[in-house]
Amino acid sequence: MTAPIDRLLEIMARLRAPDGCPWDRAQNFASIAPYTIEEAYEVDDAIRQGDMGQLREELGDLLLQVVFHAQMAREDGLFDFDAVATAISDKLVSRHPHVFADTSADTPDQVKLGWEELKAAERARKAEAKGGTASILDDVGRALPALMRAEKLQKRAARVGFDWPDTAQVIAKIEEELEELKVELAAERRSEANIHEEMGDLIFALTNLARHLKVDPELALRDCNAKFERRFQRIEALLAADGRTPEQSDLPEMEALWLRAKAEEKLKKSA
């Protein structure tokens, strides 16, 4: 009986064959990358919803992305799925010497410390091979969502002491950045480039506060998005019950309905 992973690899190869699927054959690494990112978020959403059936399906979709990339690489003579599996297996063994070698780590914090030391050594080796000097910020993925990357950059810098000592100073920095944005907005000749920069500085400072408060900024914003979507859809439903749409309403009425939706949610939580 064919192993499930082998069957999946065979299906992917068939889809990419000359007489396979026209859509699959037309894809390349760049065109598939957005789907890979999307599927990773779908996995996260299934976990957050606690839906294990959906999680199984989304993990399959994510695995397909790995298989798709590996098949395209195989066609180009670069690597194949076995090489991908071998590389990650080797990395796991090398980064877990407390399991596969003679070092010890009895707590998650000790494991994390050892992991970071190994990653630092890897960064140094890579930089030396390129004739440069390693930065502590090396290998913070540029393709990460901006909020997530900002948090990771801040965490890396904090390891060497480049960090505010308490939240009060972070909040002061947020207020400073907000004032700088206000100045740009009030300028007689507004500069869109300056406004863009100051807005980025403000978001970066807010991300820093989230990090100090041990709040994941990406997840916090995602939850806020869901809350906004939920409440606005309640506004739409209330207006629809009156035979109207948001376009047929006005801001004061919709604001009142927003407050109603907010109050209803609070009532449900306290019930």
Q: Which tokens sit at 68?
A: 């798709």
DSSP readout, 124-136? HHHHHHTTS---T
Portion of the chain with pLDDT greater than 90, in percent: 70
Same-domain status, 211 and 223: no
Q: Are residues 169 and 122 in the same domain?
A: no
Q: Is residue 25 part of a domain?
A: yes
Looking at the domain assignment, is residue 177 inside a domain? yes
DSSP state of 142: T
Is 182 inside any structural domain?
Answer: yes
pLDDT at 95: 86
User: Does any domain span residue 115?
Assistant: yes
Number of structural domains in the chain: 4
Decide if 141 is inside a domain. Answer: no
d(CA 235, CA 245): 9
Which residues have a Cβ under 8 Å from the Cβ of 269 and sit 6 or more positions away? Answer: none
Q: Per the domain annotation, does 135 fall within a domain? A: no
Please indicate, yes or no, whether residues 252 and 202 belong to a single structural domain of this protein: no
Does 12 share its domain with 87?
Answer: yes
Range of the domain at 164: 146-215
Indicate whether 27 and 84 sit together in one domain: yes
- What distance in Å separates the CA atoms of residue 192 and residue 195, rounded to the nearest whole number? 5
Pair 16, 90 in one domain: yes
Nearest to 70 by CA among 58, 55, 82, 61: 82
Quick one: pLDDT at residue 127? 75
Taking the complete model, does pTM exceed 0.85, yes or no?
Answer: no
- Does residue 140 sit within a domain? no
E strands, 119-187, where?
Answer: none
- In order of 99, 117, 155, the CA distances from 106 in angstroms are 11, 16, 24
Interacting residues of 271 by C-beta distance below 8 A, sequence separation 6+: none
Q: How far apart are the first and last CA of the chain?
A: 54
107 and 87 assigned to the same domain:
no
Query: How many whole angstroms separate alpha carbon 170 and alpha carbon 16?
Result: 52
Asked if residue 137 belongs to a domain, the reply is: no
> Could you tell me the pLDDT band of residue 145, with boundaries at 50, 70 and 90?
confident
Residue range 73-108, pLDDT digits in tens: 999 999 999 999 999 999 999 889 888 988 888 898
Number of residues that make up the chain: 271
Mean pLDDT of 5-30: 97
Residues 25 and 65 in one domain: yes
Q: Residue 195 above 90 pLDDT?
A: yes
